[in-house]
Amino acid sequence: MVNTRHNKPRGQKTESETDLKFEIKFFRGLVRRDPTCIEALQILGDAYTKTGQYRRGLQIDRKLARLCPTNPLVFYNLACSLSLLKEIDEAFGALNKAIELGYTDLPWLQKDTDLDNLREDARFEQVRKKLQAKRRRRKS
């Protein structure tokens, strides 16, 4: 599964609003027909987030977490959605779960603006150190 949601810094426009509205309409229809279509859910959640519809994006991320309970990128994206909505405690829970499941992209975690609401909390440094230690162990 590819991390489609948080692979570009926010603010960089890569798609027009018209394209995103089309994506939302199209993939919402696909999800209505097949509510377990992972790829359609990922794209729909991404489009919701890009258009500032964070609550809808969070609903999709929660559904993906139920459908893909062992996928670290799903939980990373869930943490991002929760952070955007200032659900700080729950965001840290999802972020820790992402790391436990194998999330290892420390450089992205450190610069991902979706996590800005977590950075001033002491737990963010703990998460960063935990991920750094995990990466070191993998290299050994």
Summarised one tens digit per residue, pLDDT across range 77-89 is: 999 999 999 999 9
Per this entry, what is the length of the chain? 140
What pTM value is reported for the model?
Answer: 0.85
Q: Which 3-state string (H, E, C) describes 34-92?
A: CCCCHHHHHHHHHHHHHCCCHHHHHHHHHHHHHHCCCCHHHHHHHHHHHHHCCCHHHHH
Q: Which residues contact 13 (CB under 8 A, 6 or more apart)?
A: none
Percent residues over pLDDT 70 in the chain: 89
Residues 23, 44: Cα–Cα separation, whole Å: 7
Summarised one tens digit per residue, pLDDT across range 12-37 is: 455 588 889 999 999 999 999 999 99
Q: At what angle do helices 72-84 and 38-50 cross, to 10 degrees?
A: 30
Domain covering 17-139: architecture: Alpha Horseshoe (1.25)
CA–CA–CA angle 67, 69, 75 (5° rounding): 105
